Structure 1
Amino acid sequence: MEASEQVVELFHRHIESCMYTMESLCEELGKASQLIVECMLNERKIICCGEGSQALIAQHLSSNLLNHFQHERPALPAMNLCSDAASMTAIALQSGYNDIYANQIRALGQAGDCLFLPYQGSGSPMMLRCIQAAQERQLRIITMSNSPEGSASAILQPEDIELVFPVKDTARLTEMQLVAVHAICELIDTQLFGHMTPEQ
């Protein structure tokens, strides 16, 4: 297979993943955006974190909220726990790697805040600790994964929102999570500031 053919096939896999994700999650993405809007209208914040590539997804959401998505608007309250290397390594050294986010959630989370947590598979011990810490602090939780039967899924509460992507391939999952973050950001902007036509 030539390189150009491989690229075409890659884009076809991406489009196919988009179709499956749209059919599976369009309603749930709307609910996720509504939860975040409700949180902000009650003067609470969004706390974002993740592992590996999913840390970039978490950071992308917080950056779009703190700055702006496609149009100028007021900054929205969000924080990313993935970027403070000094705090994370200190916590890992003294409390253990699995607590690098959980300790921050316990310290910074307030009842009514929302935890945004993308991950892969069934959820690592670190992700479980994040969810448990969020529950201790009475945070609402939005997860993004590709496993509906994992350990993390099992401890979520009925009021939490679990976005399960029908995608197994790691690269396609990351792509779909990014598309989903963009959908959530656009829906948040529409609900808070009215319809704004994206620039072409």
Structure 2
Amino acid sequence: MLEARIQHHFFETADLLNQVAEALSRPISEAAQAAVGCLTAGGKLLACGQGADADLAQWLCAALMLRFERERPSLAAVALGPALARPLGGQAGPAPELLLATQISALGQPGDLLVVFAGLLSTDPALHAAVQAAHDKDMSVLLLTGGDPGPWPDRLAETDVWIPVASPRAPRVRELHLMALHALCDAIDIQLLGEDGPA
């Protein structure tokens, strides 16, 4: 009984991967092209997420700054923190829903790329404010969502890229977002270094 339930997790993920592989290949390719265009023009990637999705932002930036599977020069990528330390003197900082947007306003430049891991948080005010702050700075956005996208499609600009995973289960969404990051990092390396590497 327990073994069958454990196997079901693997089967469910495998089925979902097969369902979305073709549909997500185009937006992941577009995301890789946007990232390489940004980085080769002297821009940087800013990445953010809430809760466990913030770990995906950290993972992406580590893979770009250090390496994915191949040695290459470091790429400019910064994971934004979901919280800021209280300033000296105890002054109140920005409201919690504006913490990410404040960092984007301070660090973002036109031509930079914001990567947002929204998971199942279709109405999270902090993530919506982050996307708006990026647009205000003439930055493009790469948005990864799961489940019901809610108002997200209406918040995106023409230059933005959307990678939706239509699963209502947070573990499956996170697994597929990590798989999308693997494919994205590989595609970035291929564009920068050529195809002589792991497939």
Aligned match of 1:65:
64
Shift of the 99–23 alpha-carbon distance from structure 1 to 2, 3 Å rule, reads: same
Task: After TM superposition, give the deviation of residue 21 of structure 1 in Å.
Answer: 2.1
Q: What is the percentage of aligned positions where both structures have the same residue?
A: 29
Task: After TM superposition, give the deviation of residue 166 of structure 1 in Å.
Answer: 2.1
Please, what TM-score do these two structures have when normalized by structure 2?
0.92
Please, what TM-score do these two structures have when normalized by structure 1?
0.91
Aligned match of 2:86:
90
Aligned match of 1:53:
52
Aligned match of 1:44:
43
Q: Distance in 2 between matches of 1:116 and 1:30?
A: 15
Cα RMSD (Å): 1.9
How many aligned positions are there?
Answer: 195
Task: After TM superposition, give the deviation of residue 58 of structure 1 in Å.
Answer: 1.0
Task: After TM superposition, give the deviation of residue 26 of structure 1 in Å.
Answer: 0.8
Aligned match of 1:190:
190
User: Structure 2 counterpart of 1:38, which letter?
Assistant: G
Runs of 4+ off more than 4 Å: none
Q: Distance in 2 between matches of 1:160 and 1:11?
A: 32
Q: Distance in 2 between matches of 1:54 and 1:13?
A: 21
Aligned match of 1:139:
139
Map Cα deviations across residues 59-102 of structure 1 (whole Å, 9 max, x no partner). 1111100000011111111001127x5xx2438x5211111111
User: Structure 1 counterpart of 2:86, which letter?
Assistant: A
Shift of the 67–11 alpha-carbon distance from structure 1 to 2, 3 Å rule, reads: same
User: Structure 1 counterpart of 2:119, which letter?
Assistant: Q
Indicate conservation of the 8 Å contact 2:101/2:129, yes or no.
Answer: yes
Task: After TM superposition, give the deviation of residue 195 of structure 1 in Å.
Answer: 1.1
Please show how residues 1-200 of structure 1 align to structure 2 within 5 Å: 1-2=1-2, 4-82=3-81, 88-90=84-86, 93-121=92-120, 122-147=122-147, 149-198=149-198
Unaligned runs of 5+ in 1: none
Q: Distance in 2 between matches of 1:9 and 1:160?
A: 35
Q: Distance in 2 between matches of 1:98 and 1:89?
A: 15
Map Cα deviations across residues 79-128 of structure 1 (whole Å, 9 max, x no partner). 01127x5xx2438x521111111100000000000000011232300011
Indicate the larger mover: 164-173 or 144-153. Answer: 144-153
Task: After TM superposition, give the deviation of residue 55 of structure 1 in Å.
Answer: 0.7
Q: Distance in 2 between matches of 1:160 and 1:82?
A: 22
Task: After TM superposition, give the deviation of residue 148 of structure 1 in Å.
Answer: 6.2
Indicate conservation of the 8 Å contact 1:20/1:166, yes or no.
Answer: no
Task: After TM superposition, give the deviation of residue 20 of structure 1 in Å.
Answer: 1.7
User: Structure 1 counterpart of 2:192, which letter?
Assistant: L
User: Structure 2 counterpart of 1:104, which letter?
Assistant: Q
Map Cα deviations across residues 43-69 of structure 1 (whole Å, 9 max, x no partner). 100000001121111111111000000
Indicate conservation of the 8 Å contact 1:54/1:174, yes or no.
Answer: yes
Q: What secondary structure, in the 3-state scheme, does the structure 1 residue paired with 2:115 have?
A: strand
Q: What secondary structure, in the 3-state scheme, does the structure 1 residue paired with 2:86 have?
A: helix
Task: After TM superposition, give the deviation of residue 13 of structure 1 in Å.
Answer: 0.7
Q: Distance in 1 between matches of 2:27 and 2:159?
A: 12
Shift of the 148–138 alpha-carbon distance from structure 1 to 2, 3 Å rule, reads: farther
Q: Distance in 2 between matches of 1:123 and 1:37?
A: 29
Task: After TM superposition, give the deviation of residue 155 of structure 1 in Å.
Answer: 1.5
Q: What secondary structure, in the 3-state scheme, does the structure 2 residue paired with 1:164 have?
A: strand
